[in-house]
Amino acid sequence: MPFDLENAFYAEEDIPEKFRLKKFALNRQYLLNGEILTYDKGTEVYSPLRIKERSKIKLVMVGEYPELSRKEALDSLKAALDSYKGGTGEWAKMRVGDRISCVQDFISKIKNIREEFALLEMWEIAKPYPSCLDEFDRTVRYIEDTITSLQNLDKKSSGIISVENFVAQVRRTPLGIVLCMGPFNYPLNETFAMLIPALIMGNSVIVKPPRYGALCLSLFMPAFACSFPKGTINFINGDGEGIIGPIIKSGEVNALGFIGSTQVAKLLINQHPHGNRLRTILGLEAKNPAFILSDADLEKASKECVKGALEFNGQRCTALKHIWVDEKITEKFLQIFCNEVDSLKCGMPWEEGVTVTPLPEKNKVEWLGELVEDAVTKGARIINKNGGKSSGNLYYPTVLYPVTSDMKIYHVEQFGPVIPVSSFADIDELKDYLFTSDYGQQASIFSTSAAKAIPLLDILVHQVSRVNLNSQCRRGPDEFPFTGRKDSAEGTLSVYDALRAFSIRSLAVANEDGRALFFDALKENTSDFLWI
């Protein structure tokens, strides 16, 4: 298995033709008020994938995103506000069927950029190529399912209802201006899972793509510009503090969809002058545990935990980030688990079957090294053969055991290929860990008997929002509610929930005195709201 820079990175001519970096038109473009503009100042984006040239390792520049200033940020806000016009803009008052047609037009336009997107995403964040294609396909499916879900919602909610002596028309209406900020690990899927529902519900949206993954998202700008009225969707890039601060401080943002750290979320929210007016849909840190009970099928549990902890180098919010094993089987489990970890293929994301690829985040390897060193100093051991090795921005999966509460890795979200393992004597011992943890997204239980699994399941459902039985944690299928307790999330996302998260119900109501007016208005059939 290649595990040093010399061997892991390729000379340009050795990269299969299909996976070579193409020349994209990525010259500091952004989408403002329906137009794709080019900015004069940019930030160069370098790939985490490097190229071997003679005996040297060379950085590869992928493109540049615009380093916009406060002015362009406020221009994007103005464009969004002008298009929304307090809810009287073309898009906000458009009937659901017409909005859906625009989204369908958008889908038809993006289908042909599938491979282009996957290649660029692979070069930007070093995600294995098949996973980049999967992310694209899953996102298109998500948009299509969102359309179906909205059609059902509209059918159900657009009738006239009578309660006591009241008649009413209830419809979901947009919130106003929505700011969407997705993460680097799923730049397309996680961003679009907020922005498409926000858009289709009639809001005007400003998107700030993540620093890594900004370029592959910009491939979608032409389709957005063609399919939607100007100003309803704007893309801005640059330093978060410089461009997002002014937008939030204006007080004009009605909803924030954000996936990232609690620290940044707090910073953003606290800048809003009317915090109570800002609806927040947040995906924050998680540290999902797996519990291997004494009767678990160890072969199957190991395989599933390796996938759960190490797919895309553990850079998933849903990754398994702490493994707890019953002390009676710890030794046996760890033997199987470590063999599995050490058999993982490390290399470039175009190689078949590769799992371990370079890490895109700056100084990540150093930070993971510090976590490991801290744990080792406090009594943990690196227990897999290749653990602890790193080279450049490649970090080999490292299994640490026994991990205890005085170690940093016990508490922080590592978001990378380090796997802390602890053992436990009985379920009671786990209660303290679970009750005091700040995280509450998901957990996994591995067991072969209901009698053993149930007591833990019944505790976990009150500590996390999804418990996975004999399988790793994951977000999908996207019909399921995706949320978290404690510091892990705010609001719920899913095909069904996101439409509700980015809208609010409004109603026109009449009692006896208003009845005639209500039905006259209906008959008139000129209202955007009161019609059937």
Contact residues for ligand G3H (CB under 6 A)? 185-186, 190, 316-318, 474-476
Q: How far is the CB of 316 from ligand G3H (least distance, A)?
A: 4
Structure tokens at 453: 């699994």
Minimum Å gap between C-beta 498 and ligand G3H is: 13
The three-class DSSP label of residue 427 is helix
The CA angle 186-192-193, to the nearest 5 degrees, is 90
Report the nearest approach of ligand G3H to the CB of residue 482 (Å): 7
Show Cβ contacts of residue 301 under 8 Å, excluding neighbours closer than 6 positions. 290, 292, 333, 446, 470
How far is residue 374's CA from residue 454's CA, in Å, rounded to a whole number? 35
Nearer residue to ligand G3H within complex by CB, 254 or 468: 468
Closest to ligand G3H by CB, 63 vs 283, is 283
Please choose, from the candidates 386, 398, 490, the residue with its C-alpha nearest in 3D space to the C-alpha of residue 441: 490
Contact 399, 334 (CB under 8 A): yes
Q: Which is nearer to ligand G3H, 494 or 503 (CB)?
A: 494
Q: Which is nearer to ligand G3H, 73 or 194 (CB)?
A: 194
- Is 75 or 285 the residue whose CB approaches ligand G3H more closely? 285
Write down the least CB distance from residue 439 to ligand G3H, Å.
14
User: What phi and psi values does residue 485 have, to the nearest 5 degrees?
Assistant: -100, 180
Closer residue to ligand G3H, CB minimum distance, 316 or 364? 316
Distances (CA, A) of 314 to 78, 370, 386: 39, 17, 17
Q: CB 108 → ligand G3H: shortest distance, Å?
A: 26
Contact 398, 382 (CB under 8 A): yes
Distances 428 to 431, 455, 503 between C-alpha atoms, Å: 5, 10, 43
CB of 280 to ligand G3H, least distance (A): 18
Least distance (Å) from ligand G3H to the CB of residue 245? 26
Instruction: Quickly list H helices, 114-175.
Output: 114-125, 129-157
- Distance (Å) of CA 387 to CA 7, 161, 342, 418, 436: 18, 64, 8, 9, 29
Peptide bond into 402 cis (omega under 30): yes
Q: Which is nearer to ligand G3H, 48 or 63 (CB)?
A: 48
Q: Which of 314, 396, 355 is nearest to 130 (CA)?
A: 355
Query: Measured from the CB atom, is 39 or 142 closer to ligand G3H?
Result: 142
Which residue(s) pair with 445 in the sheet? 291, 469
Residue 273 — φ and ψ, nearest 5°?
-70, -20
CB of 259 to ligand G3H, least distance (A): 8
Residue 76 or 318: the one with the smaller Cβ distance to ligand G3H is 318
List the end-to-end C-alpha distance of the chain, in Å, as a whole number.
Answer: 65
Least separation in angstroms between CB 475 and ligand G3H: 4
CA neighbor of 351 nearest in space, from 30, 5, 4, 10: 10
Smallest distance, ligand G3H to C-beta of residue 298, A: 24
Angle at 508 (CA atoms; ends 507, 514), nearest 5 degrees: 150
Between 171 and 208, name the residue whose CB sits nearer to ligand G3H. 208
CB nearer to ligand G3H: give 192 or 401: 192
CB of 133 to ligand G3H, least distance (A): 14
User: Alpha helix (H) ranges present in 328-385?
Assistant: 330-342, 364-377
Q: Are 304 and 339 in contact (CB under 8 A)?
A: no
